[in-house]
Amino acid sequence: MNSKYKVLKFSSEKFENIEDLVSIEEPLEISLKFKEQDKWITQNLSITMRTPGNDEDLVRGFLFNEQIVQSIKDIESVESYGDKVGQYNIQNKILATLNNSQNVNISKIKRDFLINSSCGVCGKSSLDALEIIKKNKTNSSEPKITKETVIQSPKILQENQSEFSKTGGIHASGLFNSAGELISLREDVGRHNALDKLIGNALINDLLEPKANDGVSTMQVGLIVPTGLAAGTTHSFSMTATSSGDDTKSRTQTFSATVAQCYGLDMTVDSMMNSVNPGSSTDFTFTVSNNGNGDDTFTYMVMGAATWNPSLGSSETEVASGESGQNVLTVTVPADASSDAVSGNIMVHAYSAGCGADKDDCDFEVSKIVSVSANQVFDLTAGYYTNETGAVKDSISVQEGMAVQMKVTVTNNGNGIDQVTLSLDDNAPSWVTISADPILVGPGLTETISITAMASGALGDHTFQVIATSSDTTVTSTTDALTITITEKGTGSGPITEDVEDDDSPGFGAISAIAVLGVVLLLRRRS
């Protein structure tokens, strides 16, 4: 069973949002009904997450594999019940009724079960949950299976996985005959569920009933593995079988069990996003924890933002069981990055040695996504207007009572739009004014601003500077000294002006003409 979901897919160093079919899981509550001392008892046995479908097979296989029943004959019926609930409107409760067979292990029914999809010993809370079954050696007269048959079986299994072909994310178990022909197949998100479904189906179709073996009886040997044992820990024990008719006839068999290595890892990062100036680097510290029961070697891979040169401090880290290790990712912002530049997603993967060579489909892998943004750099240069000849005007002479304008320039040397405020220093006379409105200057661009002066001060030189302040407020630039010389009325050549392109203010010559005309009219009135 599957459903369509919106997912984030990473491919070819980029992410995309797509709709994809995903195999689903739903909880299944398993209850048993059995007779004990002439009284029928109904008891919850387990709750498991499974992919809906073939639930009856799942229960039959689970009861058989957990040795609650020895044969399909011990199960009287398996039926779903209760209301249809959940997103997919299905019945998520199932009742298995057992007959009063002496082969039913009532003691195991009273034990709590936790079903998960972890590997082997992994996830078991104690050795009670682990059973090692002693099987008879294969009889030499049994049919032989060729290596070719074994090699081609996975391909045949995959070709018949209908759910896997749709979702690409589900386990399967298959039953083959000695000729390599597929007899039965079951799929489930949980690999153990898939096996339980397969075995349950084989039982109901009489494919796994034990065959009579003259003088041979299969026994079970159980181990309880203490929690926290390190990988590689070995324990040996023996079992003795004694004839009930002649206690001198006995046979002792020695067994040993070794704790398999379980792999597990987790990873954290000290920051998800950093900001840094163009041309500079920033570091992310990744901490990887070994949650397995043995020493592990973690290997790393980084993907994304190739132009930002992401690099890891080391390609692998050796970490003891229960310990942590660190790795550092360094990302460099391009020197020409604008203020709104962002690296995008940079993904760091950590793989356990349990993955082996297959990094594409591994259960022991974690990843984290980080990103870097470029800071805005504030850098201003303030100066004087340069005319077409390249001459810089840093002084001007004007007759008293006349108006005059001068030009200053502001250049944005930063990597983003800057809102610049202009002001005059403390030496500027009161009759010199400049607009208090901020101006926007794009990166790499220059803006020209006018300074207006009504020469009403004392005769002589008046020297001051213009200050440009960035929107960052910490970055300023000051022009060189600007001098306005006021001369006596009627002397000299009058105000010195210069034309500036795109200047909508009245021309300096017009201002002078207005002033001169006023003087002429006054003289006529007096005469």
Measured between its terminal Cα atoms, the distance across the chain in Å is: 111
Q: How far apart are alpha carbons 524 and 518 in whole angstroms?
A: 10
- Rounded to 10 deg, the angle between the 191-204 and 55-65 helix axes is 90
pLDDT in tens, 431-479: 999 988 999 999 999 999 999 999 888 899 999 999 999 999 999 999 9
Strand-pairing partners, residue 36, are: 39
- The structure tokens 């009933």 sit at 209
What distance separates the 2 farthest-apart alpha carbons in the chain?
A: 159
Least confident range of 200-214, 232-246, 484-498: 484-498
Q: The whole model's pTM is what?
A: 0.49
Between residues 121 and 187, the one the model is more confident about: 187
- DSSP-assigned states of every residue in 53-100: S-HHHHHHHHHHHTTS-SSGGGEEEEEEEEEEETTTTEEEEEEEEE--
- The structure tokens 């041309």 sit at 279
Q: Is the pLDDT of residue 20 over 90?
A: no
415's CB contacts (< 8 A; 6+ apart) are: 278, 336, 337, 338, 339, 374, 376, 377, 443
Least confident range of 131-135, 382-386, 410-414, 496-500: 496-500
pLDDT in tens, 50-72: 888 889 999 999 988 888 888 88
Q: How far apart are alpha carbons 349 and 344 in whole angstroms?
A: 16
User: 3-state class of 274 per DSSP?
Assistant: strand
Tokens of 282: 């920033």
Domains plus CATH for the chain? 21-136+146-210 (no CATH), 265-374 (2.60.40.10), 380-526 (2.60.40.10)
- Of 496, 492, 463, 486, which Cα lies nearest the Cα of 391? 496
- Active-site residues, by number, are 119
**What local confidence, expressed as pLDDT, does residue 322 receive?**
93
Q: How far apart are alpha carbons 58 and 188 in whole angstroms?
A: 10
Between residues 409 and 517, the one the model is more confident about: 409
**What local confidence, expressed as pLDDT, does residue 219 receive?**
64
Give the amino acid at 59.
Answer: V
Burial of residue 420, with CB atoms counted within 10 A of its CB: 0-12 exposed, 13-18 middle, 19 or more buried: buried
In the structure, how many helices (H) and strands (E) does the chain have?
6, 32
- Of 96, 121, 111, 87, which Cα lies nearest the Cα of 2? 87
